Structures are given as structure tokens and as C-alpha cells.
């Protein structure tokens, strides 16, 4: 069923100037859902996350804490690694930009750009926002503040420039030929209008900063944190060894998941750096929106951060994973509310999914001692449920290829409602008191429902792995098979275990 044989999924690498918050959590979650889906769909997947450990933002925070930058990042990386583990995310690699493998890769990337005449020494005089780690034109500022709201400082220093202006036309041509290279469409349009507005050469070194990767062969300059950070995507594939198996397999079959605030770095600077180095640009960059609270971006600096661990503790991992990908369409902003999270857990998970699992399996325990009945002839409603998974596989694959996780879940939720209606109409609690024919109808119906639960659990597994593993065990599967098992026959000899409730009702 896979439409893409190899897929490389990345999250942005996180600055270590503060503890992880919901924005970081969200990016890792989305990437994990996609990675889990594609693995089960039979694709070869590489999923990578990590931390961005250089730059002014990190060094200034370390200084405020009275620590060396290295001690500070060694301490701060831990909560990010814990976040990944506590989310039950499944990255194949976790990169830190202070690792020797990355320093070697970023240095080689720089040397390649230099050897191709893409870098020259000049001097920079302009505005810099430490919070964004970005250079701004005077014309971009409003009342002396960056478009992001970050404050800026005047910077005047000798620095190296990248010939970004040379790449204006090649970038426009690349995007004209590859409209799917940026999603959603609004971000594609935004990128194009930015490029058409004219590209100036980009400052790519800092001489007033020592916390960074040194410019090879030059004293007193370190790489601008973004050229260093973006190269992480190559480091994990073994760059500078472009003949490595990983590089050959996964580049450029990448989907970079990023927040909308860092779009330009990924859709303008990064493909330009790559083309300049003679490497193909990324196949896809998808920008998700922001989680807001009272319509304000959630961020540590704005003081409205939500602690992901508090949510996990209160609601449990799977309901939280489900909520974040279910309630908003990826790409749009979402206003966080505990009421919505509560409703989602109550209505969709406890009342719809948990309820159907419990109704079907506890009835089976009572009447067959947990044995899956042998089915008779299937009528139309049974065939619809029985073939639901097989029939929707292609559409589900397409939704995931377009990062439409919300749509994928909407369909599953609607199917679960139908499953519940079918159980009510079947009324096995009445049929079990009837004649031979009624008993056969009951057996066929329950068999169909166990099947349906099996297929639903497989498709929901990328979003709620722990709960779906429990459902699969309860319908007799000891491990989680890949999507080839959707629609496969059930073993009617098996005795199913006594079901246990999956979701608490919350507050
Ligand atoms: N270090 C850079 C990325 C370098 S990638 C080569 C960076 N780090 S960050 O820690 O500031 O942000 C990481 C990601 O978290 C970004 O994609 C950002 O959009 C995302 N989020 C931060 N706050 C967010 C929300 N409130 N909501 C959703 N995501 C947001 O940028």
C-alpha cells in the first residue's frame, strides 16, 4: 500500500534556552505519528529529532545562569530527551549540534560552499534578533521590533556572506516545477512572494560570538547558527559521505516538519544552500501552525506556556496524543483549551472507541467465554464493516501523504459511530435468547465487530500506540502487525482475554 518507498521525517532541532513546551511536543508528536504510519505501511523510514545547541540565545541564557555553554546544554538536553521518551516517540536518531559528527559535517558543508565560490568576506551592519536568531532589514521592523515581536539589536561586524541573491531564479524555477515541495499551499505562496520580493546575500558567520562551530581556517568567526542547524539534516545521513547507504536512500526523500515561524529558513535559505553545494533540495517542507492560548502564541517568553507533563499526568498519554492531532488541521493554528481536551477524551475516546470495545468484548466473555464466533453469511451491514479497513486503506495512505491526520481521524471516528450503531441494531443481548437462526446472526455480527475493532486498532495505532496495543491484545493479537493484516481472517479458535477499560472519563 505504500506510495513512497523511503521517507525521511525530521522535526526542527530545538533551542535549549528553556524547558520544552507544548510547541516542541507537538512537532515531535506529528512526526512520530507519520513515522509510525509509514513504517506500518511498509515504507523504509528514518525519523530524526534533536537539539540546536549553539548560537547567541543559548550562550546568553547559559551566561545568565552562570554556567559554561557546554555544561548548560549538557544539562538542558535532558528534558528534551525525556520529552521524546515520555511521548513514546520513536525517532531513529537524536542529534545534538555539539556532537563531533555534526561539527565535521557542518565544517565540510561550509568548505563545499566556499570551494564553489558561494561564500565571501564582507561586513554586516544591521539588525539582529537574538530570540529569533535572525537578521532583519530595517524595512521589516515595526516601531523597532521584528515581525515576530522579538526585540532587535544593532550589529556591526566583519562577516562572511552566502550568495543567496544568485539563487533567486533557480529557487523560483524549482518551486514552479515542484509545487508540492511546500505545504500547505498558503505557505507555498508565502515563500514565493518572499523570493519574488528579491533576495539579498545572507550573513552566515558571527564574529562577536564564540559559542558556535568555527569557520574552517579562520580565527574569530563562528558559523551563523542557522547554517549550522540546518546541516543537521545531512549529518544524520552520514554527510559528508554522500555515497553512504543512508544518504543515498533517504536524500532528498525528506519531509521537514517545521513551525510556520521558521518557514523561510527551510524553504528559502536551506534549498539555496543545498543547490549551491550541488545537493538536491528537500522534497517537501510542511509548516504547521501554532498552538495559542487566548489566541496568543504559546511560548516561554510570553509566559503562557503549558507544561506537557502536567497534561500527560492528568489525561494520560494517548488521549493527549489523540487530541493534538485530531482537533486541528495540520497547518492551521489551534487555540488550546482544557475543555476541548476533556470533550475529546470523553466523547470520542471513552464514549465511542472505549465503549464499543467494551460492549463487544465483554458480551463475548459472557456468552462465548471469549471465543470469537464462526461467522455465517454476511449481509450488507456486516460486509460494510468487514471490508471497511481494506476499502479505506488507499484513502488513509493519501491522507497521510498529505499530512491530513485530522481527516484520517475524522473518518475513523465516523466509522466507530457506525460500529456502535451496528452493535445497538444487532442487539446480541436479545438474539442470545432466540432460536438457532438468531444465535447464528449474533455470531456473525460479533465476529464482524471483532474484525472491525482489529482494523480500527491497527489504523489508530500510530496515534495511540499504547491503547491500540491493548485493543489488539484483547482481540487476540500479541503484536502489532503491519497494514497488510488489515482485513485478514481472525482465528476463531482463540479465547480472548477479559477486556479492561481503556480510557478514564476524565474530569
Ligand atoms: N532551533 C530552531 C530550529 C532549527 S531547525 C534546523 C528553532 N527552535 S525552537 O525551539 O525555537 O522551535 C522549535 C519548533 O517549535 C519550531 O518549529 C516552532 O515553530 C515550534 N513551536 C514553538 N512554539 C510553538 C507553538 N506555540 N505552537 C506550535 N509550535 C511552536 O526554531
**What digits encode the pLDDT tens for the residues 355-404?**
999 999 999 999 999 999 999 999 999 999 999 999 999 999 999 999 99
Rounded CA-CA distance 125/479 in Å is 60
- Are the C-beta atoms of 120 and 166 separated by less than 8 Å? no
- Is 14 near ligand 1, meaning CB less than 6 Å away? yes
pLDDT by residue (tens digit) across 444-493? 999 999 999 999 999 999 999 999 999 999 999 989 999 999 998 888 88
Nearest to 28 by CA among 97, 82, 100, 106: 82
Residues of the chain with pLDDT > 90, as a percent, come to: 83
Atom 22 (ligand 1): residue with closest C-alpha?
Answer: 23
CA of 134 to the centre of ligand 1 (A): 14
**What number does the ligand 1 atom closest to the CA of 298 have?**
26
C-alpha cell at 327: 482537533
| Residue 391 backbone dihedrals phi, psi, to 5 degrees | -70, -30
- Is 24 near ligand 1, meaning CB less than 6 Å away? yes
Nearest to 182 by CA among 262, 273, 256, 279: 256
- Is 299 near ligand 1, meaning CB less than 6 Å away? yes
**pLDDT at site 3:** 46
Nearest to 207 by CA among 161, 142, 160: 160
The number of residues in the chain equals 507
- Is 230 near ligand 1, meaning CB less than 6 Å away? yes
What integer best gives the mean pLDDT of the chain? 94
- Is 262 near ligand 1, meaning CB less than 6 Å away? yes
CA of 259 to the centre of ligand 1 (A): 6
Sign of CA dihedral 293, 296, 298, 300: negative
- Is 266 near ligand 1, meaning CB less than 6 Å away? no
- Is 258 near ligand 1, meaning CB less than 6 Å away? yes
**pLDDT at site 298:** 81
pLDDT higher than 80, residue 68: yes
Atom 16 (ligand 1): residue with closest C-alpha?
Answer: 259
- Is 80 near ligand 1, meaning CB less than 6 Å away? no
**What number does the ligand 1 atom closest to the CA of 257 have?**
17
**pLDDT at site 138:** 87
- Strand (E) or helix (H) holding 136: strand 134-136
- Are the C-beta atoms of 124 and 203 separated by less than 8 Å? yes
Choosing from 261, 264, 299 the residue with most ligand 1 atoms within 8 A of its CB, the one to mutate for a pocket test is 261
- Are the C-beta atoms of 6 and 92 separated by less than 8 Å? no
Rounded CA-CA distance 482/90 in Å is 16
pLDDT higher than 60, residue 259: yes
Choosing from 17, 21, 23, 31 the residue with most ligand 1 atoms within 8 A of its CB, the one to mutate for a pocket test is 23
Choosing from 259, 264, 308, 335 the residue with most ligand 1 atoms within 8 A of its CB, the one to mutate for a pocket test is 259
Give 76's Cβ-side CA count (13 Å radius). 26
Reduced to 3 states, what is the DSSP secondary structure of residue 184? coil
Position with higher pLDDT, 304 vs 230: 230
Q: Which residues pair with 223 in a beta bridge?
A: 205
Position with higher pLDDT, 295 vs 154: 154
**pLDDT at site 505:** 61
pTM above 0.85, yes or no: yes
Q: Which residues pair with 120 in a beta bridge?
A: 161
pLDDT by residue (tens digit) across 220-243? 999 999 999 999 999 999 999 999
- Is 458 near ligand 1, meaning CB less than 6 Å away? no
3-state secondary structure string, 352-385? HHHHHHHHHHHHHHHHHCCECCCCCCCCHHHHHH
Sorting pLDDT into bands at 50, 70 and 90, what band is 2?
A: very low
Reduced to 3 states, what is the DSSP secondary structure of residue 156? strand
Atom 21 (ligand 1): residue with closest C-alpha?
Answer: 23
**What number does the ligand 1 atom closest to the CA of 290 have?**
27
First-to-final CA distance of the chain: 40
Residue 91, C-beta contacts closer than 8 angstroms, at least 6 positions apart: 28, 31, 32, 35, 47, 48, 49, 84
- Is 27 near ligand 1, meaning CB less than 6 Å away? yes
CA of 413 to the centre of ligand 1 (A): 30
- Is 465 near ligand 1, meaning CB less than 6 Å away? no
pLDDT higher than 70, residue 73: yes
pLDDT by residue (tens digit) across 125-178? 889 999 999 999 888 899 999 998 899 999 998 999 999 999 999 999 999 999
CA of 165 to the centre of ligand 1 (A): 26
CA of 23 to the centre of ligand 1 (A): 6
pLDDT higher than 60, residue 4: no
Nearest to 430 by CA among 445, 415, 451: 445
CA of 110 to the centre of ligand 1 (A): 24
Nearest to 447 by CA among 384, 506, 489, 502: 489
**pLDDT at site 303:** 78
Sorting pLDDT into bands at 50, 70 and 90, what band is 293?
A: confident
CA of 262 to the centre of ligand 1 (A): 7
Nearest to 166 by CA among 280, 267, 272, 268: 272
CA of 12 to the centre of ligand 1 (A): 7
Atom 6 (ligand 1): residue with closest C-alpha?
Answer: 230
DSSP for 392-441 reads: HHHHHHHHHHTT-HHHHHHHHHHHHHHHHHHHHHH-HHHHTTS-HHHHHH
- Is 133 near ligand 1, meaning CB less than 6 Å away? no
Atom 25 (ligand 1): residue with closest C-alpha?
Answer: 23
Rounded CA-CA distance 246/229 in Å is 19
Amino acid at each position: 500500500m505504500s506510495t513512497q518507498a523511503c521517507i525521511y521525517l525530521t522535526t526542527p532541532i530545538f533551542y535549549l534556552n528553556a524547558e520544552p513546551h507544548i510547541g516542541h511536543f507537538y512537532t515531535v508528536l506529528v512526526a512520530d505519528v507519520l513515522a509510525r504510519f509509514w513504517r506500518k505501511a511498509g515504507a523504509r523510514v528514518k525519523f530524526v529529532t534533536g537539539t540546536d545547541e549553539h548560537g547567541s540565545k543559548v550562550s546568553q541564557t547559559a551566561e545568565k545562569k552562570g554556567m559554561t555553554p557546554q555544561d548548560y546544554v549538557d544539562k538542558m538536553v535532558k528534558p528534551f530527551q525525556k520529552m521524546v521518551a515520555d511521548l513514546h516517540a520513536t525517532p531513529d536518531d537524536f542529534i545534538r549540534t555539539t556532537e563531533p559528527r555534526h561539527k565535521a559535517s557542518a565544517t565540510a558543508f561550509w568548505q563545499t560552499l566556499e570551494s564553489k565560490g558561494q561564500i565571501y568576506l564582507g561586513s554586516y551592519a544591521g539588525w539582529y534578533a537574538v530570540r529569533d536568531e535572525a537578521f532583519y532589514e530595517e524595512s521589516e521592523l515595526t516601531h523597532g521590533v521584528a515581525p515576530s515581536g522579538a526585540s532587535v539589536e544593532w550589529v556591526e561586524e566583519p562577516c562572511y556572506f552566502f550568495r543567496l541573491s544568485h539563487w533567486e531564479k533557480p529557487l523560483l524555477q524549482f518551486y514552479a516545477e515542484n509545487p508540492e515541495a511546500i505545504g500547505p499551499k498558503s505557505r507555498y505562496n508565502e515563500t514565493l512572494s518572499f523570493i519574488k520580493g528579491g533576495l539579498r546575500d545572507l550573513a552566515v558567520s558571527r564574529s562577536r560570538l564564540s559559542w558556535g562551530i568555527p569557520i574552517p581556517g579562520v580565527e574569530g568567526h563562528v558559523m551563523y547558527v542557522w547554517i549550522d542547524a540546518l546541516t543537521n539534516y545531512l549529518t544524520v545521513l552520514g554527510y559528508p559521505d554522500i555515497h553512504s547507504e543512508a544518504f543515498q536512500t533517504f536524500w532528498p526523500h525528506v519531509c521537514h516538519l517545521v513551525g510556520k515561524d521558521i518557514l523561510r529558513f527551510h524553504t528559502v535559505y536551506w534549498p539555496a544552500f543545498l543547490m549551491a553545494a550541488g545537493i538536491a533540495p528537500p522534497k517537501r517542507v510542511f509548516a504547521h501552525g501554532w498552538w495559542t492560548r487566548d489566541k496568543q502564541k504559546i511560548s516561554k517568553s510570553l509566559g503562557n506556556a503549558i507544561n506537557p507533563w502536567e497534561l500527560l499526568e492528568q489525561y494520560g498519554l494517548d488521549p493527549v496524543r489523540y487530541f493534538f492531532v485530531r482537533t486541528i488541521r495540520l497547518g492551521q493554528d489551534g487555540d488550546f483549551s482544557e475543555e476541548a481536551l476533556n470533550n475529546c477524551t470523553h466523547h470520542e475516546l471513552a464514549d465511542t472507541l472505549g465503549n464499543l470495545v467494551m460492549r463487544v468484548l465483554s458480551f463475548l466473555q459472557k456468552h462465548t467465554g471469549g471465543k470469537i464466533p464462526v461467522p455465517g453469511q454476511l449481509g450488507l451491514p456486516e460486509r460494510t464493516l468487514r471490508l471497511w479497513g481494506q476499502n479505506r486503506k488507499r484513502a488513509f495512505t493519501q491522507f497521510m501523504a498529505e499530512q491530513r491526520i485530522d481527516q484520517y481521524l475524522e473518518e475513523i471516528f465516523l466509522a466507530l459511530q457506525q460500529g456502535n450503531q451496528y452493535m445497538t441494531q444487532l442487539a446480541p443481548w436479545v438474539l442470545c435468547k432466540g432460536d438457532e437462526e438468531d444465535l447464528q446472526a449474533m455470531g456473525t455480527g460479533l465476529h464482524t465487530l471483532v474484525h472491525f475493532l482489529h482494523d480500527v486498532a491497527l489504523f489508530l495505532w500510530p496515534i495511540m500506540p499504547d491503547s491500540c496495543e491493548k485493543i489488539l491484545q484483547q482481540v487476540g493479537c500479541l503484536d502489532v502487525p503491519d497494514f497488510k493484516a488489515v482485513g485478514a481472517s481472525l482465528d476463531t479458535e482463540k479465547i480472548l482475554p477479559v477486556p479492561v477499560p481503556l480510557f478514564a472519563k476524565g474530569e
